[in-house]
Amino acid sequence: MTLDARLDHWIARWALEPDGEAFASLAGRLRPVLWRGQAAMLKVSTAPEEIAGGALMSWWGGDGAAKVFAREDDALLLERALSPDALAQMARRGDDDAACRILCAAGARLHAPRPAAAPSGLIPLDQRFRALWPVAEARGGAYRRSADLARALLAEQAGPCVLHGDLHHGNVLDFGPRGWLAIDPKGLLGDPGYDYANIFCNPDIETALAPGALERRLACVAQASGLAPVRLLQWVVAYCGLSAAWTLSDGDDPWRALAIADAAAALL
């Protein structure tokens, strides 16, 4: 059954009303709908990572993340953000500090302990970084530098805590009275520095490496997250090496991630 057919199945199953056209995500298909008169987003995906992310969204219970109205098999029904404001636009129009503070506040809420046990299937950061090791061995250089820092950080992780895994400007949305909330987690387990490092790679390299931007972000994120600037930079270099390794495995040029890694390493 196609993903569009799966959308139709869940629309009928949950008595939803279509409220826009279906569109694709990297690992699924989404459609705006109405659920009991409320704006919602229906998502279906066959990717195990996305399905596990739905379980994590349910566990957060709408605290720091969008509310889950229903979840079953490959389907997830979420509250829908209606505000036109976006963190990427905020950063590009010169209010990057505010965007970073919002992302850090969202991360802190998601990282907070919960009374219920975390869902099974969370991916430890040690496992997440496995893609970097063979690339570092084969290519050395910047990859080796990132791998060496990653190994040291992984050996002395804080926590561990439940991580979003893909905390960036496109995955924290304005839900109006409910504030800025996260969507699309990857579901990792480890040091919170990993989540904050991703901020430095977004929303694009022009913003991330504008003159003085890295230094300003470092001061802002360190203050908002409570992480020491040096440790934060180390996580940035480690994360960028991993991102570059993923890009390389996809057959694309990883120059963006490597450029940010070089800039962060220079500040170290």
Mean pLDDT per block of 10 residues along the chain (268 residues) reads 94 98 92 97 92 94 97 96 91 96 97 93 95 98 98 92 96 96 96 97 96 97 97 98 97 97 97
Domain ranges of the chain: 3-79, 87-267
Distance in angstroms (rounded) separating the CA atoms of residues 254 and 92:
22
Identity of residue 196: Y
pLDDT of residue 159: 77
- Contact (Cβ atoms closer than 8 angstroms) between residue 259 and residue 209: yes
227 to each of 4, 8, 153, 184, 242, how far by Cα in Å? 43, 45, 13, 24, 21
pLDDT of residue 46: 85
- CATH second-level architecture of 3-79? 2-Layer Sandwich (3.30)
- Contact (Cβ atoms closer than 8 angstroms) between residue 193 and residue 176: no
**What's the token pair of residue 245?**
């390794």
Task: List active site positions.
Answer: 166
User: Is omega for the bond preceding 160 within 30 degrees of 0, making it cis?
Assistant: yes
pLDDT of residue 254: 97
pLDDT of residue 139: 97
pLDDT of residue 85: 81
What are the tens digits of pLDDT across the range 43-96? Answer: 999 888 888 899 999 999 999 999 999 999 999 999 999 988 899 999 999 999
102 to each of 107, 114, 145, 224, 242, how far by Cα in Å? 9, 21, 30, 9, 25
- Contact (Cβ atoms closer than 8 angstroms) between residue 99 and residue 90: yes
Write down the CATH number for the domain with range 87-267: 3.90.1200.10
pTM of the model: 0.95
